[in-house]
Structure 1
Amino acid sequence: MVVKSEFEKLGLQTIAVELGEVEIEKEINDNQKEVLLENLQALGFDLIDDKKTKTVERIKNLIVDLVHHKNNDLKINLSDYLSENLNQDYNSLSNLFSEIENTTIEKYFISQKIEKVKELLIYNELSLSEIADILNYSNVAHLSNQFKKITGFTPTSFKQSKDKKRIQIENL
């Protein structure tokens, strides 16, 4: 709603506003783009208009949505999921992502899953076995090993620690 409001303040009618994407009725001129960029940055947003960066942002948004909102779909092969949703070959998506982000799609996906594990551990409503199942880990040992490799803590020690720090999704 905040993003939509900023577009409308400049007289730009939006057709659709979704996570990481805004579709507008008319072309935006350079002056409007400059003012919009300033206003959005003041609110903690950014304006992305080059095709490569847009594609990388769409990859990130799909992964965040998959991990944090569509637990049941995690059984889908990630490469197929991204290829189908973006209508592009996975190898080209993977190469582009690595070029722009200096990390792989797989590592980004794993970091999102670990953040979800942290969230679920903090809520303390599910067992580690249930968390492993929800996030499609083959077993608890696999989840625990990956968690320790990424965070330096075992899930149990993380759960018991008083300093339960999670990384904001946009900072991953």
Structure 2
Amino acid sequence: MSYMATLFIKNMVCNRCIMVVQHEMDKNGIQIKDIKLGEVTLENELSVEKKKAIDKSLTLLGFEIIDDKKSRIIEQIKNVIIEQVHYHDDDAKVNLSEVLISNLHHDYNYLSNLFSEVEGTTIEKYFIAQKIEKVKELLVYDELSLSEIAFQLNYSSVAYLSNQFKKVTGLTPSHFKQIKDDKRKPLDEV
């Protein structure tokens, strides 16, 4: 009888990361039931040797298997925020605390305090940093106006987006758009 095991993986922040981890698992003969940002559900539990081998090969690629509960929760918070900001194109206004509670099944105060304690910043600041990275991406693609970007990312106004953008980057969105010299950070460095 087989049962599932879950590996929590740090630095898995984009669809390309999912493909890389999937490839590494396939290469090592590990059968996957499901894979998503930061989490791989396996068909079977791994032996200690197999887990060490996959951890070593993933580490060489910039990933890391997370074993302690607090680190797993932090990584899950980050992945929920990344998913929400970068991969959800719905225009519905979402309450971040409700999204985190429903995905992680913990009280928001616990999540917030844990995140601040471990990361040295608040969930809100991390969320804003991710949104600003998304704004940069959309500005570089140059397909949407600033008001369309503000609407898509649920800013109350273009002025509010511009103020927040300048506060985080030191530049106005229009100045950033002019220089376009790849001020974007990889998602795992935000």
TM beyond 0.5: yes
CA 1:124–1:8: 2 relative to 1, 3 Å: closer
Larger relative strand fraction: 2
CA 1:90–1:74: 2 relative to 1, 3 Å: farther
Within a 5 Å distance, the mapping from 1:1-172 to structure 2 comes to 1-72=19-90, 75-172=93-190
Residues 36-90 of structure 1 show CA distances to partners (whole Å, capped at 9, x for unaligned) of 1110111222111221111111111111111111132561111111111212111
Amino acid of the structure 2 residue aligned with 1:20: G
Alpha-carbon offset, residue 126 of structure 1: 1.2
Amino acid of the structure 1 residue aligned with 2:54: L
Give secondary structure in 2 for the equivalent of 1:15.
strand
Unpaired runs of at least 5, structure 2: 1-18
Alpha-carbon offset, residue 11 of structure 1: 4.2
Unpaired runs of at least 5, structure 1: none
Amino acid of the structure 2 residue aligned with 1:58: Q
Q: Any conservation in 1 of the 2:116–2:122 contact (CA below 8 Å)?
A: yes
Deviates more, 1:69-78 or 1:150-159: 69-78
Q: CA RMSD in A?
A: 1.6
Separation in structure 2 between the aligned mates of residue 17 and residue 24 of structure 1, nearest angstrom: 9
Q: Any conservation in 2 of the 1:158–1:164 contact (CA below 8 Å)?
A: no
In the comparison of the two structures, how many residue pairs are matched? 172
Deviates more, 1:147-156 or 1:45-54: 45-54
TM-score by length of 1: 0.92
Give secondary structure in 1 for the equivalent of 2:64.
coil
Deviates more, 1:54-63 or 1:28-37: 28-37
Q: Any conservation in 2 of the 1:16–1:24 contact (CA below 8 Å)?
A: yes
Q: Which has the higher contact order (CA 8 A, sep 6+)?
A: 2
CA 1:2–1:121: 2 relative to 1, 3 Å: closer
Separation in structure 1 between the aligned mates of residue 186 and residue 27 of structure 2, nearest angstrom: 29
Amino acid of the structure 2 residue aligned with 1:42: L
TM-score by length of 2: 0.84
Alpha-carbon offset, residue 15 of structure 1: 1.7
Amino acid of the structure 1 residue aligned with 2:147: S
Separation in structure 1 between the aligned mates of residue 99 and residue 90 of structure 2, nearest angstrom: 13
CA 1:98–1:55: 2 relative to 1, 3 Å: same
